């Protein structure tokens, strides 16, 4: 228990002492004083409870005398009371909340049974709804530790937090337990504009049931539920559900690859245009970098799926028809691997071409600076001569406005002649290059 919990205990003890002292003393308006003191302590307790984690609040309620627990219960925010009810014991829950049961949020738990070859969702709103249920698939989305603990204990297994498994080595992501349970940890692609990423999902095959745990909503799971509900015979057991989820993830990755093709096609038209500015090149490089990152995520995602399917095939737990489905998924993955390799080559080509245009623009500016330098070199020499005393001696007797005006006109003519000569040389060089 942390320091905040200790403060709650100290505050409860202090409240009892102060309340006893005020009650035993005879003073004017004693009832008002008692009320004010009590309100102050309750406000402090409520502030402390808002800062405490749910698990610490539940530990306090389980260890405190029932009178103190009943005093703290109304001070807990309504939005957190349900989470606390998952953590406290059944006896303390009955005493504090009059038998109120904790409930699942609508998006946190979906349970499905197989009816006439179709998946049918059964309503799971609280603990009592699990009694007697025999689903083949239980999908937990963003479930708390207490919810995972209860669901796992109800079905006789331990349900992990998928985000805590991200650092596992590849060999530890797929394993068969001594009791025959199959544990898989795989990444599923979430492709949103500007927010594409891989979402970890934990799977457990336990006694004919598939448990899937994730902390983010994924379109692949929505697609799977819709297909299984509308197409009879689409799934026959929990392994079929798992294979179809992996297959849908491969299809989702293929759709994302098509989007990359379309984006790179637009970028290619820009890159292969006659000329692009530095600002346009910077935008093109940014778009290429985003598509390269997404392509890399897709490749990593399908390779992870490939390892999971290979593990299921080696586990020798699938029926012949399921082995055929797994082999088909592997063939689809092989075809996608070739597409991702082609896209990497295309991305590298477009990036090199864009950088080449940037270099051409820089060379053009340097060439312009070189021309200006050559043009003004004779003028600089004449300017240096004009600043010497010999020029004054040479123009002695000529009014200085006329002398210096003629000097400026001569310098300008030399500059024009130099520039014209350079342009003619460049034109002649281009003609000779074309004739070859």
* 95-151 per-position pLDDT tens digit: 888 777 777 765 578 888 888 878 888 877 777 777 777 889 999 988 888 788 888
Residues 184 and 267 occupy one common structural domain: yes
Give the pLDDT confidence score for residue 366 in this predicted structure.
75
423 & 314 share domain = no
C-alpha to C-alpha distance for 167 and 187, rounded to whole angstroms: 12
Burial of 20 (0-12, 13-18, 19+ CB in 10 A): exposed
Helix or strand run (H / E) with residue 403: helix 400-435
Is residue 104 included in any domain, yes or no?
no
Query: Both tokens of residue 73?
Result: 């219960």
Mean pLDDT within 372-400 = 64
**Nearest Cα to Cα of residue 101 among 128, 119, 120:** 128
Domain boundary among the residues 97, 118, 137 is at 97
Region of poorest pLDDT, from 222-226, 289-293, 352-356, 388-392: 388-392
In terms of average pLDDT, the best of 32-36, 308-312, 420-424 is 308-312
* Whether residue 347 sits in one domain with residue 316: yes
CB 100 within 8 A of CB 93: yes
What's the domain count of the chain?
A: 3
Are 247 and 309 contained in the same domain?
yes
Is residue 182, in this structure, part of any structural domain at all?
yes
How many whole angstroms separate alpha carbon 80 and alpha carbon 86? 10
**192 and 267 share a domain?**
yes
| Residue 102 counted as domain residue | no
Structure tokens at 180: 């025959």
Distance CA 16, CA 68 (A): 10
């005393």: which residue's tokens? 389
Whether 282 and 401 share a structural domain = no
Where would I find the beta strands (DSSP E) of 193-313? Answer: 197-206, 209-214
Question: Do 88 and 119 fall into the same domain?
Answer: no
Both 325 and 372 in one domain: the answer is: no
Q: Which of 74, 97, 120 marks a domain boundary?
A: 97
Judged against a pLDDT cut of 70, whether residue 33 lies above it is answered with no
> Last residue of some domain: 358, 385, 407?
358
pLDDT tier at 387 (50, 70, 90 boundaries)?
Answer: low
User: By the 8 A CB rule, do 194 and 177 touch?
Assistant: no
Residue with tokens 């123009």: 395
Is 103 in a helix, a strand, or coil? strand
Residue 265's CATH number:
3.30.460.20
Highest mean pLDDT among 100-104, 150-154, 384-388: 150-154
- For 296-351, how does the pLDDT look when each residue is reduced to its tens digit (9 = 90+)? 888 988 998 999 999 999 988 888 999 999 999 999 999 998 888 888 888 888 88
Give mean pLDDT, residues 67-71.
79
CB 297 within 8 A of CB 277: no
The dihedrals phi and psi of 113, each to the nearest 5 degrees, come to -115, 160
Domain membership of residue 412 as a residue range: 364-435
196 inside domain: yes
Interatomic CA distance for residues 296 and 196, integer angstroms: 11
Q: How confident is the model at residue 371 (pLDDT cuts 50, 70, 90)?
A: low
End-to-end CA distance of the chain: 87
Q: Do 298 and 318 lie in a common domain?
A: yes
How much is the pLDDT for 327?
93
When the pLDDT of each residue in the chain is averaged and rounded to a whole number, the result is 78
Buried b (16+ CB within 10 A) or exposed e, 362-377: eeeeeeeeeeeeebbe
Domain-embedded: residue 335: yes
> Is 184 found in the same domain as 328?
yes
Angle made by CA atoms 314, 315, 319, in degrees to the nearest 5: 95
Same domain, 200 and 303: yes
Question: Do 52 and 121 fall into the same domain?
Answer: no
- Quick one: pLDDT at residue 210? 94
Q: Positive or negative, the Cα torsion across 356, 357, 360, 366?
A: negative
Within a domain: 103: no
> Is 188 within a domain?
yes
State pTM to two decimals: 0.69
CA quadruple 38, 41, 47, 51: dihedral positive or negative? negative
Task: Specify the DSSP element, H or E, that contains 33.
Answer: helix 30-51
């Amino acid at each position: 228990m942390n320091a905040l919990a200790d403060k709650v205990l100290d505050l409860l003890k202090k409240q009892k002492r102060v309340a006893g002292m005020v009650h035993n003393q005879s003073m004017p308006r004693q009832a008002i004083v008692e009320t004010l003191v009590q309100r102050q302590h309750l406000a402090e307790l409520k502030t402390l409870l808002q800062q405490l984690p749910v698990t610490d609040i539940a530990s306090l309620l389980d260890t405190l005398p029932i009178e103190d627990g009943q005093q703290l219960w109304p001070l807990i925010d309504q939005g957190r009371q349900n989470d606390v009810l998952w953590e406290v014991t059944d006896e303390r829950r009955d005493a504090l909340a009059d038998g109120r049961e904790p409930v699942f949020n609508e998006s946190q738990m979906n349970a499905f049974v197989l009816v006439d070859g179709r998946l049918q969702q059964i309503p799971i709103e609280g603990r009592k709804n699990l009694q007697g249920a025999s689903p083949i698939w239980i999908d937990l989305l963003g479930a708390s530790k207490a919810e995972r603990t209860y669901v796992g204990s109800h079905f006789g297994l331990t349900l992990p937090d998928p985000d805590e498994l991200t650092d596992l080595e590849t060999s530890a992501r797929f394993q068969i337990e001594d009791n025959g349970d199959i544990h898989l940890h795989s990444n599923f692609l979430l492709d949103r504009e500007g927010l594409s990423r891989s979402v970890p999902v934990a799977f457990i095959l336990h006694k004919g049931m598939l448990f899937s745990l994730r902390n983010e909503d994924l379109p692949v799971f929505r697609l799977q539920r819709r297909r299984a509900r509308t197409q009879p015979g689409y799934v026959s057991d929990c392994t079929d559900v798992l294979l179809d989820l992996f297959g849908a993830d491969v299809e989702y990755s293929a759709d994302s690859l098509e989007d990359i093709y379309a984006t790179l096609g637009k970028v290619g038209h820009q890159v292969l245009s006659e000329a692009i500015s530095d600002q346009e090149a910077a935008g093109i490089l940014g778009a290429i970098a985003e598509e390269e990152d997404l392509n890399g995520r897709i490749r990593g995602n399908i390779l992870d799926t490939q390892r999971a399917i290979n593990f299921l095939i080696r586990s020798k737990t699938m029926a012949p028809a399921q082995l055929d489905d797994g082999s088909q998924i592997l063939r689809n993955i092989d075809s996608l691997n070739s597409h991702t390799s082609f896209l990497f080559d295309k991305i590298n080509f477009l990036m090199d071409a864009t950088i080449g245009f940037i270099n051409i623009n820089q060379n053009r500016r340097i060439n312009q600076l070189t021309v200006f330098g050559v043009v003004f070199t004779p003028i600089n020499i004449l300017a240096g001569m004009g600043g010497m005393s010999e020029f004054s001696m040479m123009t002695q007797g000529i009014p200085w406005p006329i002398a210096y005006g003629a000097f400026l006109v001569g310098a300008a003519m030399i500059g024009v002649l130099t520039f014209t000569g350079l342009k003619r040389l460049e034109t002649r060089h281009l003609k000779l290059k074309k004739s070859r």
